[in-house]
Amino acid sequence: MSAIIQYSPILVIAIPIIAALIAPFFTEKTRGWFAFLAGAATSVVASLMLLSYLHVKGIASIPMAENVFSWAPMIYTQFSLLVDGLSVPMVFFAAFVGTVALLYSISYMSKYKSTRSFYSLMLLSIGTAIGALLSANLILFVVFWKIVGVTLYGLINLGKGEGKEKAAWKSLMIVTSADYAMIIGIIVIFLVTGTFYMPAIAKTLGASPVGGYLLGAALALLIIGPVAKAAGIPLHTWLPEAAAVAPTPAIGMLPAAIEKLMGIYLLTRVCYYLFTITAAWNIAIATLGAITMFVAVMMALVQDDLKKLLAFHAVSQVGYMILGVGLGIPLAIAGGLFHLINNATFKMGLFFGGGAVQYRTGTKDLNKLGGLARNMPLTALFFIIASLSISGIPPFNGFVSKWMIYSAAIQTYPVFAIIAMIVSALTLASFIKLIHSMFYGPRPKEYKDVKEVPKTMTIAMGILAFVCVFFGIFPQIPLNYLILPCLNAIGMTLPIGNVPGSLFTNIGAWGPTPATLMLLVGLLIGAVIYALSRVGITKGEPATTYMGGEDSPSEEISVTSHHFYYPVKQTFKTPYNIAKKGGFDIIYRTIVNAIVAFTQLFRRTHTGTLTTYISWLIIFLGIACYLALGGI
Amino acid sequence: MIYEILAFFIYPGLLFTAVIGMFFEWIARKTTAKFQHRVGPPLLQPFYDFVKLISKDIIIPQAASRSMFVIAPLISLAAVATVVMFIPIAGPQPVFGFAGDIIVIFYLFVMMAMATILAGSSSGNPFGAVGASREMTLLLSLELPLIVAVLVPVIAIGSLNMGQIVTSQMAGGMFALQYPFAAIAFILAMQADLGKLPFDQAEAETEIVDGVFVEYSGGLLGISRLAYDMKLFAMISFCVAMFFGGAVPIVVAGITIPAVITLLIKAAIILVVVVAIAGITARVRVGQAFKFFWAVVTPLALIDLVRALGLNIYLTYGIIAVLVAFILFYVFKATKYRGITKAIRRAIDFTVRAYTKKEAESKGE
């Protein structure tokens, strides 16, 4: 047991990668269960790591602590792992989320022809993501980070749909280009500090606030990478296109959960551990978060494709995290990190619910779906719980993290609080439309016999919904065990008073326990009144829908999702038209055009004639001989 | 502990709010009747309505989703029963002030609206769906000015604690006098949140037959209307607490008026204002309401937000000038006074033509 704990950082990276290599050797039916078991094993080891870390370090406020696991040093780059407060909770959550996704995909992938590469890619992405979270060496970090990007490309290509090659290519292009910006930033850091080793960089650079053009440019480049990976504006265009075609578990796990985990983890590390940012950077990053939130949710409001809508909301929630991390005060960072964890749960729940509907009905067009609540009651319940969480409705977990971000924004720059709260309302609007289009509303005839989804999918969604409710009613548990270590790793403490049942910041309070109790008692009283009103009433014949005397409404009389927010579409006609024509793709198109123009220059050397190639060879051989024989 | 339980159920909780809510509904109906030269219902009419509805059968249509159809009104009732625990009613401090601040109150009201929308959506009736869509659009439009208006006192005193806002008004005077634009914006947004004319598109009787509640009957409709009455009281109490001093005892000619009576008097006055606006306006389209709230009411509240932020004085007045220009521009454009430019152009044209005609005549002659 103690051996497992001692080697747990290595194990937690190695188990998924080895399982990824073995997975293709299983049969179709057993491969899914094997992958799930591998994921479960990873989660167990990760939770052991977390528990032992907390046991050793305690959960009181401690100064910056690190625990380096060094192994097999190579030239210049050591394979060293940094097990500190910021990485361990993230690893635990990444393993947990990956396992739930694998559970979901056992049944979901039965509709796909071959899952030989799917499970390998999923396990590989989980393993390398955990590796990236744990690495202490910037080069190692970049290696793992890039492998995750490549697995994303592979997973998108496994989807069904016409645009999948284009979507996969676009995601690879945007994420990889941002990665190159990040690498340039890392090289600048190496030139300044002389090392790639993160704790050493933190000691040199993190001691004083970042200043000077060189370091400022390095910081900016280092921020571009995570922003693209987590899909913040303006580098977000790959996510909706990828979401429309990739298989649901892949999209639910990678862009919605794990990539955001990695992205915001790197952002926090860069801004507060490696560097120490000033107020100007705070405002800039917070503004980026605010713009991301608002623009993405306005785009989501008018979508008719289920997956694209959820993808835009994923972009919008990243805005909350960037805002939280960017605001700088400990309450905000705690809120941003807590929102990161919460987002993983409810976003995955939403993607899985949408995937469940798509699995049974075969379509993701919101204008065609409807009335499925009676057919799929459990899916509807879990989906509604996740929707209420993402909209920040008490007493679910989304409300707690958003409340922390609002309180922090009111204390620093209230404008961001306004934007954050209105985006929350817009999120609620979008999900009301989604719930109405999918579960309520008239049911088309072809979906009359749609059944509930298989149990593994239901259990996966149920686990996520349970976490939403649990983290909402007892937020002290995740805040103390998962978020407090993160804050301690960057040298801050959690400014939330700990009276049992209530959370206190210095300007406000939220008591989930009394509030939930009151809500439940209120529900009970309402149920009592309802029961009283049914005393002595016999059951009459079932009633038809009231249409003012006309016949029952046909399917065409319904409020489809296309018209749900017609006034909003009309008010913002011009921006929506610009966006529809691909206005946000400016950066992507510029990069693509530059690359194409650059390669076109060299295209002329490929003439196809053998003699031209031989002449080039002879010329350069001559130059090489001249240099080798002691020329200039 | 016992005090809190009694407070939740009786005073100032469930029972008190229900009774006062029904009283407020009566005030609203009687005032509207007086506006329309009618007599209006007797005092106990809302109570009679509630008892009647409970005694009637609940008909659940075939096309509805049973569980959500039944639970949605219960959620409304639970949310409003909880929110009055966080609003100062019996005194300057709310009962559960340590368990909820302004953001919690705000989101509990959003939860009520969300329950209404889900009720309409799950009823399986197209009228209900249209009502749900309109109510959500209306909620979107009123949230922005409501947020800005609510943040004005919060920034002014730097705390989200409801009790602190009331006590600071005791010392420094009502926020409505210091920040009148925010108060006006709050009342207008409250008008829409309560579903009163000119913003009652969600229950537009003449268009979509009661909208969200078209399929509700019997006890469920009774619970919905009870929750609405309680929301009437809760929301107006919230407005009074934020901007008009809240529940504080006042000494008048040697007699101390208890806090709750002060609150009721102030709330009744605000209620009459709300009903008056409802009585003299007609319904607008939901798109017009959206533009009105985002383009006129929000800048109005932003004026006071900028004043409360306390920035550099030139920046403050600069931003205020921009906001006022924006409001005037939008009002000018929306009320179709572009007829003024047309009239000016016609006048110039007429003068020019008259002048040239005179010339032509004089030349021709």
* Predicted confidence (pLDDT) at residue A61 exceeds the cutoff of 80: no
* Predicted confidence (pLDDT) at residue A76 exceeds the cutoff of 60: no
**Chain B CB contacts of A403 below 8 Å:** 103-104
* Predicted confidence (pLDDT) at residue A536 exceeds the cutoff of 70: no
Going from the C-alpha of A614 to that of each of A348, A611, A618, the distances in angstroms are 57, 5, 6
DSSP A521-547: HHHHHHHHHHHHHTTTPPP-PPBPPP-
Contact B112, A424 (CB under 8 A): no
CA–CA min distance B2, chain A (Å): 14
Which of A4, A64, A114, A122 has its CA nearest to residue A485?
A: A64
Cα atoms found within 13 Å of the Cα of residue A193, Cβ hemisphere only = 23
Q: Which of A276-285, A617-626, B34-43, B331-340 has the lowest mean pLDDT?
A: B331-340
Over residues A412-441, the mean pLDDT reads 90
Query: Per-residue pLDDT tens for A31-51?
Result: 888 888 888 888 888 888 787
Cβ-based neighbour number of residue B118 at 10 Å = 25
- Rounded CA-CA distance B265/B246 in Å is 10
Which of A338, A501, A306 has its CA nearest to residue A408?
A: A338
Q: Which of A577-581, B57-61, B234-238 has the lowest mean pLDDT?
A: A577-581
Q: Note whether B144 contacts A: Cβ–Cβ < 8 A.
A: yes
Tokens 């208006």 correspond to B149
At A427, give phi and psi (nearest 5°): -65, -45
**Chain B CB contacts of A509 below 8 Å:** 97-101, 161
Which of A533, A513, A536, A535 has its CA nearest to residue A525?
A: A533
Across the beta sheet with A502-504, the strand order is A497-499, A502-504, A509-510
CA–CA min distance A426, chain B (Å): 6
Q: How confident is the model at residue A552 (pLDDT cuts 50, 70, 90)?
A: low
Mean pLDDT taken over chain B:
86
Q: Note whether B309 contacts A: Cβ–Cβ < 8 A.
A: yes
pLDDT value at residue A62: 31
Q: Note whether A535 contacts B: Cβ–Cβ < 8 A.
A: no
ipTM entry: 0.87
Q: Which of residues 423-442 of A touch B (CB under 8 A)?
A: 425-426, 428-429, 432-433, 435-436, 439-442
Its sign, for the CA torsion B240, B244, B248, B254, is negative
Domain ranges of chain B: 2-328, 335-365
Q: Note whether B117 contacts A: Cβ–Cβ < 8 A.
A: yes
- Rounded CA-CA distance B230/B233 in Å is 5
Instruction: Looking at mean pLDDT, say which of A77-81, A252-256, A497-501 comes out highest.
Output: A252-256
Q: Which of residues 189-248 of B touch A (CB under 8 A)?
A: 209, 214-215, 218-220, 222-223
* Predicted confidence (pLDDT) at residue B72 exceeds the cutoff of 90: yes
At A600, give phi and psi (nearest 5°): -60, -30
pLDDT value at residue A553: 64
**Chain A CB contacts of B98 below 8 Å:** 499, 502, 504, 509, 511
Query: Per-residue pLDDT tens for A304-356?
Result: 888 889 999 999 999 999 999 988 888 899 899 999 999 999 999 999 999 99
Over residues B140-145, the mean pLDDT reads 91
Going from the C-alpha of A204 to that of each of A267, A279, A397, A491, the distances in angstroms are 18, 20, 38, 15
Query: Per-residue pLDDT tens for B286-301?
Result: 888 888 898 889 999 9
* Predicted confidence (pLDDT) at residue B310 exceeds the cutoff of 90: no
- Rounded CA-CA distance A173/A269 in Å is 25
pLDDT value at residue B340: 61
At B191, give phi and psi (nearest 5°): -55, -45
* Predicted confidence (pLDDT) at residue B268 exceeds the cutoff of 90: yes
- Rounded CA-CA distance A503/A509 in Å is 6
Q: Note whether B125 contacts A: Cβ–Cβ < 8 A.
A: yes
Which of B113, B159, B63, B351 has its CA nearest to residue A554?
A: B63
- Rounded CA-CA distance A380/A370 in Å is 12
Task: Please report, in angstroms and rounded to a whole number, the separation of the first and last CA atoms in chain B.
Answer: 103
What percentage of chain B carries pLDDT values higher than 70? 93
Q: Greater confidence, A171 or B337?
A: A171
Over residues B54-76, the mean pLDDT reads 87
Contact A95, A39 (CB under 8 A): yes
- Rounded CA-CA distance B9/B7 in Å is 6
Report the interhelical angle of B180-193 vs B126-157 (nearest 10°): 160
Report the DSSP beta bridge partners of residue A68: A82
* Predicted confidence (pLDDT) at residue A68 exceeds the cutoff of 60: no
Report the interhelical angle of A8-22 vs A116-134 (nearest 10°): 160
- Rounded CA-CA distance A107/B342 in Å is 68
Q: Which of residues 466-505 of A touch B (CB under 8 A)?
A: 499, 501-502, 504
Burial annotation A103-130 (CB, 10 A radius, 16+ → b, else e): bbbbbbbeeeeebebbbbbbbbbbbbbb
> Taking CB atoms and an 8 Å limit, are A422 and B147 in contact across chains?
yes
**Chain A CB contacts of B101 below 8 Å:** 507-510
Query: Per-residue pLDDT tens for B82-135?
Result: 999 999 988 888 888 787 889 999 999 999 999 999 998 888 888 888 888 888
Its sign, for the CA torsion B47, B50, B52, B54, is negative
pLDDT value at residue A63: 30
Which of A264, A387, A256, A364 has its CA nearest to residue A314?
A: A256
Which of A426, A409, A145, A408 has its CA nearest to residue A312?
A: A426
Query: Per-residue pLDDT tens for A476-497?
Result: 888 888 887 788 777 777 777 6
Contact B129, B121 (CB under 8 A): yes
Q: Greater confidence, A9 or B38?
A: B38
> Taking CB atoms and an 8 Å limit, are B114 and A526 in contact across chains?
no
Mean pLDDT taken over chain A:
82
> Taking CB atoms and an 8 Å limit, are A568 and B100 in contact across chains?
no
Nearest CA in chain B to A528: B74
- Rounded CA-CA distance B144/B163 in Å is 24
* Predicted confidence (pLDDT) at residue B274 exceeds the cutoff of 90: yes
> In the structure encoding, which two tokens stand for residue B97, read together?
């002030």
Distance of CA A422 to the CA centre of its chain: 22
Nearest CA in chain A to B111: A393
Residues in chain A, total: 632
- Rounded CA-CA distance A270/A276 in Å is 8
- Tell me, what amino acid is at A622? G
Q: Which of residues 543-562 of A touch B (CB under 8 A)?
A: 543-548, 553, 557-559
* Predicted confidence (pLDDT) at residue A72 exceeds the cutoff of 60: no
Query: Per-residue pLDDT tens for A193-208?
Result: 877 777 777 777 777 7
| Residue A491 DSSP code | T
Three-class SS string for B76-129? Answer: HHHHHHHHCCCCCCCCCCCCCCCCECHHHHHHHHHHHHHHHHHHHHCCCCHHHH
At A68, give phi and psi (nearest 5°): -95, 135
Over residues A185-195, the mean pLDDT reads 84
Q: Note whether A514 contacts B: Cβ–Cβ < 8 A.
A: yes
> Taking CB atoms and an 8 Å limit, are A546 and B81 in contact across chains?
no
Tokens 């998924």 correspond to A16
Contact A256, A345 (CB under 8 A): no
Q: Note whether B103 contacts A: Cβ–Cβ < 8 A.
A: yes
Query: Per-residue pLDDT tens for B185-230?
Result: 999 999 999 988 888 877 766 666 677 888 888 888 999 999 999 9
pLDDT value at residue B302: 92
